[in-house]
């Protein structure tokens, strides 16, 4: 058995550390001395670098230290993964680009052509995180008026066609959301490997669609037993269809030489969170089942960081410190490795890890945590004592 490790490319800028709320990397915060990509030159002029130059550094760090590639998220105020991937294609050698994509936004045949072209450009380094949208105002911001379960219906038909035109030069399809007559990719594009499909979403409609189409079911971290149960259900459900689906976890780590150092960084970060940030994360309207499973942790109401420790090495306030889900792993290198080993024991076949700042933490986690993973969780925890 082998386990796949991916990193993450932050598409909404990056912080210098978990202690600060400003985006000193990229231009999501005002440009000031000390910022990078863009930064200020000697004479106070913008230095000409742009955020893609920083993403290049992160991708190179991740591929150097042993991650297979990285997830490239897509939200209203992020840079777009379909453009980031080709921009980085020739700057990297083995880094695989996991494009987060809502199928409703693209014509399925044209999207297949784009995907096959990217496979050709990168030697087969493309894969997808298929997402289906959190609903609420954000969905109409994107120009999408479909309701939750219809969106999954559309995702499912999209994937039928996407795979269909890749497999055959002459496909017709008559669905509720898409029609196609005599479509198919040209031979040079069709001979490329079909990209791996990862799938995110926690609702029943999501799990049903994932079981039919995906290679990996991807989840945010949840309390371990709950996640283990979910993975077991996903695998059973997929097996009932005569298919196999693996399971993956997307999780942030704060890994330090000692547990005290790790919690110290969390505490400082927590104490620097502004009231405005708490307000912003409170009660954002969504029809996402996955988001509600996370929101049940209620991190915005906590007054002390340690109120949010939900289990050993599990902290539920990450969304206060940076965009993303609430739950993450905090501890010494050995403890972090032990928690990952716990997740493997509960059915995780792959991980998307992240840490802030993404560049330095890719090196740290790749050098300090991943090498420990060959050992059993129990041995690791004994070493951490």
Partner 1 sequence: MTLNIHWRLDPAAEPLRSEPGTEHALPAFIRDRRATSRNRFDYYVQVARAVAQTAFDGLFVRHRSEADESRIIAAIVARETPRLLVVPEFPASVGSAVYAAKQAATFQRATHGRLGWAIAAEENAASREAEADFVPDEDLRQRLDEFLTVARGVHRDRPFTFQGRHFEVLDGGFEAPLNQHRFPKLFLQGEDDGALALSARHADVHLFAPGPVDVLAERIATLNTLTAVEGRQVAAGLIQPLLVREDRDGAENDVQHLPLASGTLVASYDEAADQLAAYAAAGVTELLLEAVPTLEEAYRVGQHLLPRLRARTGAARKAA
Of 80 and 367, which CB lies nearer to partner 1 in the complex structure? Answer: 80
Contact segment (CB under 8 A) with partner 1 among 174-182, 271-279, 315-323, 374-382 equals: 174-182
Question: Which helix (DSSP H) or strand (DSSP E) does residue 157 occupy?
Answer: helix 148-167
Contact 96, 102 (CB under 8 A): no
> x/- binding map, residues 104-133, to ligand FMN, per CB under 6 A?
-------------------------x-xxx
Between 288 and 300, name the residue whose CB sits nearer to ligand FMN: 288
CB atoms within 10 A of CB 92: 20
Q: Scanning residues 279 to 308, which ones bind partner 1 (CB under 8 A)?
A: none
Binding partner at 238 among ligand FMN, partner 1, none, C-beta below 5 to 8 Å by kind: none
For residue 139, give the 3-state DSSP assignment.
Answer: helix
Give the DSSP letter string of 191-241: TSPPPEEEEE--SHHHHHHHHHH-SEEEEE---HHHHHHHHHHHHHHHHHT
Backbone angles phi, psi at 223, to 5 degrees: -45, 140
Window contacting partner 1 (CB under 8 A); options: 79-87, 244-252, 255-263, 369-377: 79-87
For 22, phi and psi rounded to 5 degrees? -75, 155
Q: Does 210 bind ligand FMN (CB under 6 A)?
A: no
Nearer CB in complex with partner 1: 177/281: 177
Q: Which residues pair with 71 in a beta bridge?
A: 8, 98
Partner from partner 1, ligand FMN, none binding residue 193, C-beta < 5-8 Å depending on class: none
Among residues 57, 91, 150, 307, the one that binds partner 1 under rule CB under 8 A: 91
Cα 211 from chain centroid (whole Å): 19
The reply on whether position 52 binds partner 1 by CB under 8 A is yes
Instruction: Name which of residues 8 to 47 contact partner 1 (CB under 8 A).
Output: 26-28
Q: Which is nearer to ligand FMN, 38 or 290 (CB)?
A: 290
Residues forming beta bridges with residue 354, ordered by sequence position: 252
Query: CA 11, CA 84: separation in Å to the nearest integer?
Result: 9
What's the rounded Cα separation, in Å, for the pair 116 and 190? 7
Q: Between 304 and 333, how does the x/- string for binding to ligand FMN read (CB under 6 A)?
A: ------------------------------
Question: Of 40 and 189, which CB lies nearer to partner 1 in the complex structure?
Answer: 189
Q: Alpha-carbon distance 213 to 196, whole Å? A: 10
- Tokens 């996402």 label which residue? 288
- Tell me how far, at minimum, the Cβ of 220 lies from ligand FMN, in Å: 5
Closest CB to partner 1 among residues 116, 353: 116
Q: List phi, psi (to 5°) of 297.
A: -75, -20
User: Which residues make up the interface to partner 1 (CB under 8 A)?
Assistant: 26-28, 48, 50-52, 76-77, 79-80, 82-84, 86-87, 89-91, 104-111, 113-114, 117-118, 120-121, 123, 137, 140-145, 161, 173, 178-184, 186, 188-189
């Amino acid at each position: 058995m082998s386990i796949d490790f991916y990193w993450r490319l932050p598409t909404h800028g990056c912080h210098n550390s978990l202690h600060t709320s400003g985006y000193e990397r990229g231009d999501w915060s005002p440009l000031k001395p000390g910022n990078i990509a863009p930064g200020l030159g000697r004479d106070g002029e913008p230095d000409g670098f742009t955020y893609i130059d920083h993403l290049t550094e992160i991708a190179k760090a991740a591929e150097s230290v042993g991650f297979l590639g990285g997830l490239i998220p897509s939200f209203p105020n992020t840079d777009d993964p379909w453009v980031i991937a080709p921009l980085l294609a020739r700057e990297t050698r083995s880094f695989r680009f996991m494009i987060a994509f809502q199928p409703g936004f693209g014509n399925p045949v044209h999207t297949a052509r784009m995907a096959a072209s990217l496979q050709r450009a990168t030697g087969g380094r493309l894969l997808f995180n298929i997402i289906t949208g959190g609903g609420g105002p954000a969905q109409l911001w994107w120009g999408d008026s479909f309701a939750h379960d219809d969106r999954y219906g559309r995702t499912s038909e999209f994937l039928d066609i996407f795979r269909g035109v890749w497999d055959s030069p002459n496909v017709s399809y008559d669905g509720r959301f898409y029609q196609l007559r005599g479509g198919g990719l040209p031979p040079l594009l069709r001979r490329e490997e079909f990209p791996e499909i990862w799938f995110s979403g926690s609702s029943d409609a999501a799990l049903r669609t994932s079981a039919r189409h995906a290679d990996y079911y991807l989840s945010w971290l949840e309390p371990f037993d709950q996640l283990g149960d979910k993975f077991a259900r996903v695998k059973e459900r997929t097996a009932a269809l005569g298919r196999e689906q693996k399971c993956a976890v997307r999780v942030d780590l704060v890994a330090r030489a000692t547990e005290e150092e790790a919690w110290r960084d969390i505490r400082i970060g927590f104490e620097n969170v502004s009231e405005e940030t708490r307000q912003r994360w409170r009660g954002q309207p969504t029809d996402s089942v996955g988001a509600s499973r996370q929101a049940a942790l209620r991190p915005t109401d906590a007054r002390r960081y340690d109120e949010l420790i939900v289990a050993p090495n599990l902290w539920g306030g990450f969304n206060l410190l940076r965009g993303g889900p609430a739950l993450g792993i905090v501890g010494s290198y050995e403890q972090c490795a032990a928690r990952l080993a716990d997740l493997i024991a509960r059915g995780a076949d792959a991980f998307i890890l992240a840490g802030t700042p993404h560049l330095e933490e890719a090196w740290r986690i790749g050098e300090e945590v991943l090498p420990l993973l060959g050992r059993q969780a129990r041995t690791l925890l004994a070493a951490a004592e």
